[in-house]
């Protein structure tokens, strides 16, 4: 599902862009906003939060998912990643693992930018044969 035509709800795009404006990225200057649509139809937001101890940085996508879980939601329809880069920003490896924990294999992960370009992947495309709850729990 790598294409340029996926229909993203306007409110979800707007939420990712709004979250981008809240990013804390004084070291990389690479701001990222994320928004996810939960199975219940709610929108949750996240941004990257860097730290003077660089390795403690949390990416926008993991922040978004953590935010949702803290608000009582653990399943999602899709997640959007917004940057103001000419290149579309794919989720890092750590975020792919966390996305795989909570999203269906077929769920869309969508990178968008300020030029309204988009790239869509499924969770399975981003992390094939992922280690997930099914490998630990009786699911």
Size of the site for ligand THU (CB under 6 A): 15
Under the binding rule (CB under 6 A), the answer on residue 89 touching ligand THU is yes
Q: Which of 46, 43, 48, 73 is nearest to 58 (CA)?
A: 48
Query: Which one of 18, 61, 84, 101 is the catalytic residue?
Result: 61
C-alpha 102/C-alpha 77 separation (Å) is 10
Under the binding rule (CB under 6 A), the answer on residue 79 touching ligand THU is no
Under the binding rule (CB under 6 A), the answer on residue 94 touching ligand THU is no
Token pair 């630990």 is found at: 136
Contact 107, 75 (CB under 8 A): no
Among 1, 25, 88, 130, binds ligand THU (CB under 6 A): 25
Instruction: Considering only residues 36 through 65, tell me which ones interact with ligand THU, judged by CB under 6 A.
Output: 48, 50, 57, 59-61
| 61 is known as an active-site residue | yes
Q: Which of 71, 15, 6, 74 is nearest to 47 (CA)?
A: 15
Contact 55, 94 (CB under 8 A): no
Distances (CA, A) of 74 to 11, 20, 67, 121: 20, 22, 10, 20
- What is the nearest approach in angstroms of ligand THU to the Cβ of residue 64? 9
Q: 57 or 77, CB closer to ligand THU?
A: 57
- Binding stretches for ligand THU (CB under 6 A): 25, 28, 30, 32, 48, 50, 57, 59-61, 81, 89, 91-92, 95
Residues labelled catalytic: 61
């Amino acid at each position: 599902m790598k294409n340029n035509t996926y229909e993203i709800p306007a409110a979800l795009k707007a939420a990712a862009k709004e979250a981008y404006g809240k990013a804390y990225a004084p070291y990389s200057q690479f701001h990222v906003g994320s928004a996810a649509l939960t199975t219940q139809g709610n929108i949750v937001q996240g941004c990257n939060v860097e730290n003077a101890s660089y390795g403690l940085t949390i990416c926008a996508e993991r922040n978004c998912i953590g935010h949702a879980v803290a608000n009582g939601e653990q399943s999602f329809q899709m997640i959007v990643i917004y940057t103001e880069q000419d290149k579309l920003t794919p989720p890092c490896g750590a975020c792919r693992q966390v996305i795989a924990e909570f999203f269906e294999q077929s769920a869309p992960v969508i990178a968008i930018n300020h030029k309204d370009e988009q790239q869509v992947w499924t969770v399975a495309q981003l992390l094939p044969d992922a280690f997930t709850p099914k490998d630990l729990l009786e699911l």
